[in-house]
Structure 1
């Protein structure tokens, strides 16, 4: 890369320009989040409705017509409704539209007659329905006149509005996080040029990831959450990876005493040594991240697979630019990497001198911890254990963020709907009944289904059960709860309805299935809960094998995994305390829903476990260098900490800044992800790397480096003459 720097830079310039063109087009291809679970009860309901009740569509959206002055009886109001209904019927993907004047006026016109509903059947899978909903909103929006407001609501319409809001949240977070990261880099590296390079490399990696995701949209669908997570994590790891290499490159330039940019051979040698050490480290770290993400594929839910693909694409892109574009750029800059240097006292020691005769503050701290390893280790573990406790009371749910959409047509339509009609009308519960094995119902089976629907109608939490539809010997009914579809009360109701449906069916009776949006949330929660132990086992076992090969040690990988579990548990525990218990609502500008987003723990575990290994690999890799040259475990720990504490602390501060910028989001899941990831990185950099690592490595002593059949060359090496 260094020798062919001009060719490399030219190729990258063309490639990044093409990827930049794909950036705005990717947003246009983003679909709604798919919370479905393959083979679940809600998925079976979708299939049965599509097969036997195609006239209703796969989803029922709602056109809401509202006027402050006119009523549904006025000619102006009726004309607006008729125009909206006619426009919606012309949209491709709309199965049918039921006007309030042709359907059930008593159920589709509000008591004060200022609000009317038209029911719209949408065809297609979840991503296709989102596109249809967007087209319907565009079509009916043109027919708004006077004081009459028309909007589309329902699951897909709300999802579309949430997607737009997430895109705005993402842009705002980037505008905050990148400048803060640049400032932290200047302070960490002590030079403007050195700080600008990691930012530029991270942006290049992000553009490459965008181009790759855009290309993949031809074969799969992505949503705004996938792009937001890919951006959040990609920027953080990209800046970190580039900073580690830049930091080591400056150290190698100083060691080789290179001061002339025309000294290409020695600059290339410095780059080679940087990639042999820091470059190898980021490759190992990136592979651990992707190993963790691959475990999400066992979840039979598109949302988990999308996140795994998106984040893995971002990390891969950062690795590619880190080992190709970055070396070519460093070869071009050479000693100019130190331009815009801060005063000497503000610059890192590795950038100014190689004299390590005097122990630095990080070495002194390491020796303090290693003198009392049991005390420091016990205190750190106790703090992490206490922080983990709220995790044992975690509750799962899925908040769609409707309350944050007040400034959108879908949000205003949702408010009008839930204010004037039952709250559950936004997304009713779907009930499909068939005979055993999907066969038509018998007369006896239909009677049992009718009794089941009558029992549901008497439930205080159900506002109404719309008249059942019959087709091919199957029955479809819609139950409208009196609570919103994404509330805990609705989730509990679906659980009880399914239990009652199983009892109504019996051993050989009718097969009654419960579907709809709330049922999808319940199925996703059950899928996540049942597969989480498998995900954890896969991540831990794969990481153990990989780290054992990388560290050539038995104790170090086990220690690393145990510490990462503590850090991840503590961050999730604090996240539960904040978002489930409501601690800090006013500070973070949110209202607690009493639960955390259902997919949060699994995603955070997989992502955090990989990210936490970055610092572990970087620190242990440097400690191992000193161990191999000295054979002195205590010296190796102190020396490794001396040379990595500043870049690790800076890298963690940058990643925390990137993640914390998402706390400004209006979308609840972005807030929760930003807090959980930011906390985990901060815990990892402070308590784990600066306290637990030196404490445990001191306690383990030479067992840190024990490996079966390992050559004893390293342990017999002469002690290093350099002191730290």
Structure 2
């Protein structure tokens, strides 16, 4: 018999017959005062629902600005010294298949559109094709022309201006003319509409599947309705919270999509775990009538004391993971972190307040609408089952199963070694929108580089005017760029002793070639004598974002792992279980990201999933997916280990504890994973590529985690570790309290 390690003298989890803990007493209070709880939640849900239209109106575009970067400084200098030029230059496109730019009707259409554009607040100036460079602004066939429209303000203000601008110029179109605006701001405005439609479609697909899985997992219609009800209430309150936060913060449509996606999946899972445990606890107490108030309240208290603790621990881990994104220092990731934390907090609050009240009100009625007995899950069945046999099969050959699982995860993660980053704007999803049509016209007739050119602003030291020699050097630098085969043209401008070079690439601003060109220009700019050059424009912003994420990603990983390790040691009361959980989560997350790279970067299955590979993944995807997945996949680890811990505290038999824990959790974990996969996979139908990538990565990771990690690797490694699973050094905070 192997020697056992010294076990920590730690307080055990609540056991049957013991008095309820703090969370159990809270659950009992929710049960007793359920009428008050229902009234408060009704008010909160109504307020949150009423806030949704206002929140939708306040959503802005993703803000990729990197504080203190060269691109941010370039925008600031343009606003100060080239205000008529505008921080952003959009293109007002006029097209007619019947008339040409030489016809008076065409000229009249351009005049009406440019006049309407110039009257919009936030527009700094308009240069029409007849006032500017006709050779550059009128197509070769003379059927298409564009005006340059300057926009001022931050990204949120520019998107709002672009929305008003699009509506104003579209109203001027008459007869056989198309009039629309394209550029970064107009495209972002239309992308927000596309993302909203994507989110609604994903929910339409995912939620019915989740509802069907709930019925099978819980065995009754009423029981299945509870998680859906609680989730809907939590999301409504989350909307209200996000609306309140918009008083101080700006959120974009991606924040709402990601927050809704994650909060919906976690909320349904949490509620399902709690309802499943309540069914066990009420069955153990012989609850058959709603008049058995004491027994029902006791079942609610026990549910919160056991599974409720697990749910809280899981929610906290998700918040810890998401908080790490703030360390990057990007407003876009800050918004996602705050939005998801707010949404998860709201749904977590619903799980530990509204759900206990509903369970207390229903009592045994949660079993109404029961499925046929052969389809219902066993409640508190202590007899060995297929899951016991599976657990013992794995534990009888732990090395073989453990090695096979680890090799599979490493193989899936291998494509990460060739990962390539970029930012795809989602222009391919804009078909049918004004900016999409204008974008196609510009790309076909003038070249894609016009959509968002680079801007190079040259000043003297500390923003002083340039000496004459330095101005000549800057202009010579611009002439060199103009001869670069990757550059369509360079347009120099001078004002207040400063020089602005507008560099129009030949390729689209979100292409890999323009990203390389941007970095090369930035490097070469340092060599211009007597001048300080700041490189701006959308391509430069994207480059700065990529550099910032690459530099901060290791810090995010370190922060998440360190804080999670400490938290898990406290939650599991075990050092090795916490380390094992982190290592397995890293493997599963790496595997999911590797497969995501294979699909979206290599293009494997692109026809099946309905997209065209860009040759890279979104630059922020690995960091976002790591933070989210690390929190989500830990849900099942905490749920499984805490249930195994309950058995271990009772029997001190490691093999029996693992088998019992798997027996009680395998079905709900599998169902919970299926629900999350359904919710996340719904976003694979999105037209916007970044939503498709996020949905695919999360769905695949959860499936991998539930099947390979929880059902194979956890029992295998727990068998190999034996009693050392439960080792914890004797520390003051872990010693057993004595009465």
TM-score band w.r.t. shorter chain: over 0.9
Shift of 1:710: 6.9
Shift of 1:355: 4.3
1:464 counterpart (489, 509, 512): 489
Structure 2 CA distance, aligned partners of 1:360 and 1:710? 39
- Deviation by residue 1:576-631 (Cα, 9 ceiling, x = unmatched): 00000000011000000000001100000000000111001100000000000111
- The alignment partner of 1:359 has SS state of coil
Aligned ranges for residues 597-612 of structure 1 at < 5 Å?
597-612=618-633
Aligned ranges for residues 109-508 of structure 1 at < 5 Å?
109-350=138-379, 354-356=380-382, 358-466=383-491, 468-505=492-529
Structure 1 CA distance, aligned partners of 2:731 and 2:340? 36
- Deviation by residue 1:638-687 (Cα, 9 ceiling, x = unmatched): 00010001000000000000000001100000110011001111111011
**2:582 is the counterpart of 1:561:** yes
Structure 2 CA distance for partners of 1:275 and 1:376, relative to 1, 3 Å: same
Shift of 1:439: 2.0
Is residue 580–residue 594 contact of structure 1 (8 Å, CA) maintained in 2? yes
Aligned ranges for residues 621-660 of structure 1 at < 5 Å?
621-660=642-681
Shift of 1:99: 1.4
Calculate the TM-score normalised by the size of structure 2.
0.94
Structure 1 CA distance, aligned partners of 2:718 and 2:55? 47
Is residue 628–residue 714 contact of structure 1 (8 Å, CA) maintained in 2? no
Shift of 1:487: 0.7
Is residue 465–residue 477 contact of structure 1 (8 Å, CA) maintained in 2? yes
Shift of 1:138: 1.0
- Alignment partner, residue 73 of structure 2: 44
Shift of 1:25: 1.9
Is residue 36–residue 302 contact of structure 1 (8 Å, CA) maintained in 2? yes
- The alignment partner of 1:222 has SS state of coil
Structure 2 CA distance for partners of 1:559 and 1:109, relative to 1, 3 Å: same
Shift of 1:504: 2.7
- Alignment partner, residue 721 of structure 1: none
2:689 counterpart (642, 651, 668): 668
Structure 2 CA distance, aligned partners of 1:402 and 1:359? 56
Structure 2 CA distance, aligned partners of 1:337 and 1:459? 71
Shift of 1:344: 1.0
Shift of 1:341: 0.5
Structure 2 CA distance, aligned partners of 1:303 and 1:394? 22
Structure 2 CA distance, aligned partners of 1:582 and 1:160? 28
Higher relative contact order (CA 8 A, sep 6+): 2
- The alignment partner of 2:174 has SS state of coil
Is residue 238–residue 318 contact of structure 1 (8 Å, CA) maintained in 2? yes
**2:738 is the counterpart of 1:678:** no
Structure 2 CA distance, aligned partners of 1:13 and 1:202? 14
Is residue 209–residue 313 contact of structure 1 (8 Å, CA) maintained in 2? yes
- Alignment partner, residue 6 of structure 2: none
- Alignment partner, residue 26 of structure 2: none
Aligned ranges for residues 506-545 of structure 1 at < 5 Å?
509-545=530-566
Shift of 1:446: 1.1
Structure 2 CA distance, aligned partners of 1:261 and 1:470? 82
Structure 2 CA distance, aligned partners of 1:355 and 1:412? 62
- Alignment partner, residue 91 of structure 1: 120
Aligned ranges for residues 7-26 of structure 1 at < 5 Å?
7-26=36-55
Structure 2 CA distance, aligned partners of 1:403 and 1:385? 33
**2:32 is the counterpart of 1:3:** yes
- Deviation by residue 1:458-489 (Cα, 9 ceiling, x = unmatched): 000101111x1112211111111110111111
Is residue 360–residue 642 contact of structure 1 (8 Å, CA) maintained in 2? yes
- Deviation by residue 1:414-453 (Cα, 9 ceiling, x = unmatched): 1111111021001111111112332221122112111110
Structure 2 CA distance, aligned partners of 1:208 and 1:76? 54
Shift of 1:714: 12
Aligned length: 706
Gaps of at least 5 residues in structure 2 are 1-29
1:57 counterpart (74, 78, 86): 86
- The alignment partner of 1:592 has SS state of coil
Aligned ranges for residues 692-711 of structure 1 at < 5 Å?
692-709=713-730
- The alignment partner of 2:94 has SS state of strand
- Alignment partner, residue 718 of structure 1: none
- Deviation by residue 1:68-98 (Cα, 9 ceiling, x = unmatched): 0011121211111111111111111111111
- The alignment partner of 1:441 has SS state of coil
Structure 1 CA distance, aligned partners of 2:705 and 2:463? 53
Structure 1 CA distance, aligned partners of 2:230 and 2:176? 52
